[in-house]
Amino acid sequence: MKLYPINAGHFKLDGGAMFGVVPKSLWSKSYEADSNNMCSWAMRCLLVEDGDRLVLIDNGMGSKQDQKFFSYYFLHGEDTLDSSLKKAGFNKDDITDVFLTHLHFDHCGGSIEWSEDRTKYRTAFKNATYWSNAEHWKWATEPNPRERASFLNENILPIQESGQLKFLLNDELFPGFSVKRVNGHTDAMMLPVISINGSKLMYTADLLPSPTHVPVSWVMAYDTRPLITMVEKQSILSECAEEERVLFFEHDKAIECAILQTTEKGIRVRETFPLSSFAG
């Protein structure tokens, strides 16, 4: 098995939204904001090569939205989904499976693209099976008012219409690729756990957008059930610290991976490093 970080680009979100009730005087010591209180975040996906399978976990926000939509998120940097796949030696047609942790636009928008004449939508990964789960799919296609702006029909419905969608029925995609389900950020979000070389790596998605979010009470304002997020974080972080699991961060602007430790103040980051140091 081989793992590759795939950066689908950078965007900006409000620091207050990303750190919830934590005061800026605290979080700004670890994460920089611009004059408008906007912070830069990556859309870092993970490519898992296992035999004949090439699994892409999440795929960024895509490029099909209009300029007004993108103006809200200040896309920047040179990384794109296509360029990052090419750097790893692959292209979209090579992908056999697209695993979607959840269906917020910055995680699944790259699933769907315009046709060449821009008259209809089509799947961006024509040879892939798209994986979600029934509980989250229902949650996303019948959205609550708070999350409606994050669940965009054009990112979601064409996947089902294509016939390429499957729902994960248990907590394993294949041996060595298991799934932890959590409900604090959004209903039935899936966190992949990859077993490789005798160790385990967890793709943290929006449970832990960055290492700065490791303290249990540092929860995003975007989370629908923040108290549940805290319970989930405490359990998962304790397990990861005890087993020295590697955490892979989807949104930190620079840091890819970390290992945790237990301290007098609770679970904290022991060290950070690029994915290549773990799976190179």
Give the mean pLDDT of 90-95. 98
pLDDT (mean) for 85-114? 98
pLDDT for the residue numbered 278: 87
CATH of the domain at 169: 3.60.15.10
What pLDDT shows up at residue 279?
A: 72
Q: Is residue 280 very low, low, confident or very high in pLDDT (cuts 50, 70, 90)?
A: low
How many domains is the chain partitioned into structurally? Answer: 1
Parallel, antiparallel, or unpaired for β 172-174 and 165-167? unpaired
Average pLDDT over residues 195-222: 97
- How far from 24 is each of 28, 36, 76, 230, 269, CA to CA, in Å? 5, 13, 23, 20, 20
**How far apart are the C-alpha atoms of 218 and 229, rounded to whole Å?**
10
Q: How confident is the model at residue 105 (pLDDT cuts 50, 70, 90)?
A: very high
pLDDT at 165 > cutoff 70: yes
Give the CB-side neighbour count of residue 237, counting CA atoms within 13 A.
25
Parent domain of 208: 2-279
Instruction: Over range 251-279, report the average pLDDT.
Output: 95
Give residue-wise pLDDT tens across range 18-51.
Answer: 999 999 999 999 999 999 999 999 999 999 999 9
On whether the pTM is more than 0.85, the answer is yes
Give tens-digit pLDDT for 110-138.
Answer: 999 999 888 999 999 999 999 999 999 99
> Region 141-147: what's the mean pLDDT?
95
Average pLDDT over residues 96-103: 98
pLDDT average, residue stretch 58-66: 95
